[in-house]
Structure 1
Amino acid sequence: MAALGTAAADLNASIKSWRLWSLLGWIEIRQRYARSKLGPFWLTISMGVVIGTIAFVFGALFHQDMATYLPMLSIGMVTWTLMSTIITEGCNAYINSAQYIRQVNTPRLIYLFQAMWRNFIIFLHNFVIVLIVLGIYGVRSWETVPLFVPGLIVLLLNAVWMAMVVGLFSARFRDLPQIVAAFMQTMYFVTPIMFAASALKKHEWIITFNPFAYLIDLVREPLLGEWPALLTWEVALGMTVVGWIFALALTGRYHKRIPYWL
């Protein structure tokens, strides 16, 4: 309980410091794309090229209907990039901010929120691709579209608690960022992003036990005109509650050790 109290106090202070971590996120993006005319839109162009290439190759290879396949692929790719990048960059959130943590008494979680905010801004740039694709092929049902917002919030909450866990362990074990990056790359290929879950047929159990698949569906299905299944919401919300309790307990337990690990 003491650990949870410590972490909850840090979380509260971090949320109140939203101006700080949002500013740090903006500054980092501006520095990364200094003197660039397109800025973060270079990532959007790269993402668009990747999506177009995959759609052309896999669409032709598996005889996919582009009106169905391209929206599924584009939403899945953009959403996966948001989630996976928050988690992988969360590994280095404390490490890259070591000088601040050692010298200034600031809440710990602001550095994870900074990574989340930075990647959310990039997500908004990449989401232009989704809008273009949906503009070309149309929205199947406007009734389901509003569910995209709570689905995205749940996905962000899960990505942040995962980043909290890997960020803490990465500060202690410096080999972990490479392991997490390799793991996320593996999960990319077994998550229904480039393919529909139904394509696995008798091997669909792989998706059933893949927690990332539920988070992707929570965001993607409303935009595709489908209602997310009740099981999808139950799994995603269950992960959110259990994950945040675990992450806060872990953060509170090792809160004072982070500066020494860095």
Structure 2
Amino acid sequence: MITTAINDLRESIASWRLWTLLGWLEIRQRYARSRFGPFWLTISMAVMIGSIGVVYGTLFGQKLRDYLPFISISLVMWGLFAQTVSEGATAYINSANYIRQAATPKLIYILQVVWRNLVILCHNFIIVICLLAVFGTKDWWTLPLFIPGLLLFVLNATWVAMITGLLAARFRDLPQIVNALLQVAFYITPIVYRPNSLTRFSWVVHFNPLSYLLNIVRQPLIGEVPTPTTWGICLCMAVVGWAAALLFTGRYIKRIAYWV
């Protein structure tokens, strides 16, 4: 079973021209005839970061020069994870016409979602770069750690999208459930508040795998080195998650065309 999934993944990666083109065309179609095009994503994200940063920074008694870079990285990276998982849940459903009419590897539709959201990340990351340039960071030497952190972050988001996409193709109520769970996860994950802000309910952070996933990309950008525990948990999540996703995909991949 897992061999079938690995072969499909290999063929999907080899078809990179197809899923990168489909992902890019979808972004262009969404903002066709718009003056700013995809940069509307950046503008809307900047407005949200500015409003949330000022309001919550004031409520939490934070210095804006420290809090604005923190909240910008948190919201931009959370947007990548949440959108990848949410859109991954409908990847096969939205591509039903392609799946029925063309004998293509199935995982290209998941890779299309991941690629599209990485392109959006590149647009939104401009905000992070600008804020870091203005306010600086604690230690610039930690920035290279962001690259392996981002790789682990994307790998974890991808296997979650693989599983939710497969389940949602069979159970059509799942996309709504996934979106509801993502809303809950947004509030219990240290995104708008710092991880050490919760004292009485610190277990909410300690036992939340998403907090470690965010820390592995956020801490290098704010000048901190992620702990070995953070690296270990994220790596274990990627290994176990990908094994489960490939096993699950290999078991049911041939049924997708009948489900959608």
Regarding TM over 0.5, the answer is: yes
C-alpha separation in 1, matches of 2:101 and 2:53: 49
What secondary structure sits across from 1:81 in the alignment? helix
Per-residue CA shift, 1:81-106, capped at 9, x if unaligned? Answer: 00110000001100011111111110
Per-residue CA shift, 1:204-261, capped at 9, x if unaligned? Answer: 1101111111111000000010000000000000000000000000000001111000
Provide the residue aligned with 1:162 in structure 2: 160
- 1:32-111 map, 5 Å: 32-111=30-109
Shift of 1:140: 2.2
The alignment's C-alpha RMSD in Å is: 0.7
Q: Which amino acid aligns with 1:129?
A: I
C-alpha separation in 1, matches of 2:139 and 2:47: 27
Per-residue CA shift, 1:155-174, capped at 9, x if unaligned? Answer: 00000000000000000000
What secondary structure sits across from 1:31 in the alignment? helix
Match of 1:212 among 210, 213, 219: 210
C-alpha separation in 2, matches of 1:138 and 1:124: 20
Provide the residue aligned with 1:29 in structure 2: 27
TM-score norm. by structure 1 comes to 0.98
Provide the residue aligned with 2:183 in structure 1: 185
TM-score norm. by structure 2 comes to 0.99
Task: Give the paired residue count.
Answer: 260
C-alpha separation in 2, matches of 1:83 and 1:137: 26
Provide the residue aligned with 1:175 in structure 2: 173
C-alpha separation in 2, matches of 1:210 and 1:156: 18
What secondary structure sits across from 1:203 in the alignment? coil
Which runs of 5 or more residues in structure 2 are unaligned? Answer: none
Provide the residue aligned with 1:259 in structure 2: 257
Provide the residue aligned with 1:128 in structure 2: 126
Per-residue CA shift, 1:105-144, capped at 9, x if unaligned? Answer: 1000000000000011011000011011101101321211
Q: Which amino acid aligns with 1:193?
A: I
Could you list the runs of 4 or more consecutive aligned residues of structure 1 that deviate by over 3 angstroms after TM superposition? Answer: none
Provide the residue aligned with 2:139 in structure 1: 141
